[in-house]
Structure 1
């Protein structure tokens, strides 16, 4: 019996059409684009059904609300399909993949995010291969987690980052190997594919729009400019530091801000600006203040995964100490646990 795959079209470049103000998603047009791809009706393809989200969005406009809508669309159809392919714009695809990895608790079916750098309506579109291969991967059922397929590589969703604005291999996974590579054959990396963490039926953990910020340090940063945003309303901060967690502290300006945030109950998670490697707070003197102020190490998490994980843990209603604990623990393969 053929596998049944649900294609969720959320918007993004893959389905965009030219208009007066440039390329934009156009409701009701994408089905026609799929009908023009003869490979999708091949006997070797799974049966598939298209679900078009409303509204269709450029991924720059994706918010927590859309993450919840995508998660709900999967949960509502979970028992009707063997897998899911989510078509999404590339700009925030890694954020959505990370969010879905946490939201879809007890997931034991493939959820593959993909899209394209060139619209499907264009002659050289990379969307055809990305879509066809994603459908095959979803139907094979080898990778039963949230993943991201693009340019010949299947990556763990919460390990992926967008690394090229215009290259056809737009995503990379700096701290975790690909789950599969697609050449003449689709070759799965069995050692990288985790066993599904299933303790019951699928549960959708919807996210709340918790006040979270991302702050990237740079040479000459004037920390006092950020004092006004560090109020009790800000519940989480992802701090992108130098190297393994190092920060400048000109005239002692940063640590008082961190201590103020800590006093307000804000969870400060430290990630590295370096694509590869992990944060080790306290290894160097320039990071010892973060450790003393109660900051949490993001280890080798991407900023995308750290942001999504904060949304998830706060939305679960955990207290601050519990959130700090789980931020440093591996929940969905998003980080390499400290030894």
Structure 2
């Protein structure tokens, strides 16, 4: 199992050194110590938010975003920066303006090299981001990750499982239009994220996604629009906060993580995948998809978790896979709703130990599967964890069904 697992990047990787340099840089360390305001680390991985048009296509531009923000009055308070020049003589930080100077947010931008289009993100990048935050976790009050929108929901879901016992907010955001454009959503998304990570730091200690004035739990969102500014939605769980004239935080929705020491899991199993059923899919296609080295899949089924009951060839391939130890998680193809074994077309999956994904998004189910497979070696233990609500990623509305499933996997 472990030989095909994605492990932590080497400690000498370029982006790891960037975060380690924050600890060892005397100027940054001195400024962090002297600053009396909230401090936020912005990890700029890439994405549309920092792109410019080059040869008629959008492309990321290195070493540009920070200086552009420095020139924006809404993103940087130059007067405040001048007033604390002795604290930050090299102007290493930017300062989000606030009517009350004591509520000003100081933020430092850590820029990845190279900048990444989110379509190029891999599991190793999730691990890299997690390590960057782990390195400097005690130095900042909160964290913002600037990320491309195409795969942001995958990254947010992965990080939500990798971080345990968070006491600080980690907010992912990006934009549909580059921040350099006169008309863009990037400025509002960045500023809103900084407010959540800085001013609301003690109130929302979760991995979240901020977009279009709404804050979502990171493992509950899906990108729904490739063109509109309301690009993300969480159909099965309401936003944790909304920022309008007032900031409305829904405290009762914040996930109760329990007590424990902050920790980061940096192992993810890459032998996972997503198989979407469609009318006429062949047994050969399913069989080949389930072949080694695959260890777990998210099976996207129809409606409330249904498969064709008259296709024993397909059902036999799924049965053989579960008997070999492949973990199969049943998630609906619908964007809203839950898997419920209500119909004959779904009950067979329950009989062959296909796990209900309840109302998890495909992104959350895939990343949870990767996390669980890497962390636990015993298959019954893995199945137990897959049906448990680990980070607020799913709702278990039927406790009797949950207890029945859990009893199937007791040691």
Kept in 2, the 8 Å contact 1:158–1:334? The answer is yes
Aligned match of 1:72 in 131, 136, 139? 131
Aligned match of 1:27 in 62, 66, 73? 62
Q: Is 1:253 matched with 2:288?
A: no
Q: Which has the larger radius of gyration?
A: 2
1:288-332 deviation line (CA, Å, top 9, x unaligned): 111111100000110000011011111113311111111111011
Corresponding residue for residue 279 of structure 1: 339
Corresponding residue for residue 275 of structure 2: 215
Kept in 2, the 8 Å contact 1:210–1:311? The answer is yes
- For 2:310 and 2:274, locate their aligned partners in 1 and report how far apart those are by CA, in whole Å: 20
1:70-149 pair list within 5 angstroms: 70-139=129-198, 140-141=200-201, 142-149=203-210
Structure 1 residue runs of 5 or longer lacking an equivalent are none
- Larger mean CA deviation between 265-274 and 250-259 belongs to 250-259
Q: Is 1:323 matched with 2:382?
A: yes
Aligned in 2, Cα 1:289/1:195: closer, same or farther, shift over 3 Å?
closer
Corresponding residue for residue 186 of structure 1: 247
Shift of 1:28: 1.5
Kept in 2, the 8 Å contact 1:179–1:188? The answer is yes
1:223-266 deviation line (CA, Å, top 9, x unaligned): 32232232231101100111111012454221111012112211
Shift of 1:21: 6.1
- Larger mean CA deviation between 21-30 and 112-121 belongs to 21-30
1:161-192 deviation line (CA, Å, top 9, x unaligned): 11111110110111111101111111111221
Aligned in 2, Cα 1:256/1:320: closer, same or farther, shift over 3 Å?
same
Corresponding residue for residue 14 of structure 1: 49
Kept in 2, the 8 Å contact 1:108–1:198? The answer is no
Q: Is 1:335 matched with 2:335?
A: no
Normalised by the length of structure 2, the TM-score is: 0.79
Corresponding residue for residue 38 of structure 1: 73
Structure 2 residue runs of 5 or longer lacking an equivalent are 1-35, 78-96, 99-103, 400-411
Q: Is 1:5 matched with 2:66?
A: no
Q: Is 1:161 matched with 2:196?
A: no
Kept in 2, the 8 Å contact 1:210–1:314? The answer is no
Q: Is 1:304 matched with 2:339?
A: no
Kept in 1, the 8 Å contact 2:286–2:314? The answer is no
- For 1:151 and 1:222, locate their aligned partners in 2 and report how far apart those are by CA, in whole Å: 42
Which structure's residues are more often helix, by fraction?
2
- For 2:391 and 2:244, locate their aligned partners in 1 and report how far apart those are by CA, in whole Å: 27
Normalised by the length of structure 1, the TM-score is: 0.96
1:119-140 deviation line (CA, Å, top 9, x unaligned): 1111111000000011011112
Corresponding residue for residue 54 of structure 1: 113
SS in 2 for 1:40: coil
RMSD: 1.4
1:104-158 deviation line (CA, Å, top 9, x unaligned): 1111101000000001111111000000011011112121110110011100000
Shift of 1:53: 1.6
Kept in 2, the 8 Å contact 1:230–1:260? The answer is no
- Larger mean CA deviation between 256-265 and 15-24 belongs to 15-24
Shift of 1:56: 1.2
Report how many aligned residue pairs link the two structures. 337
- Larger mean CA deviation between 260-269 and 124-133 belongs to 260-269
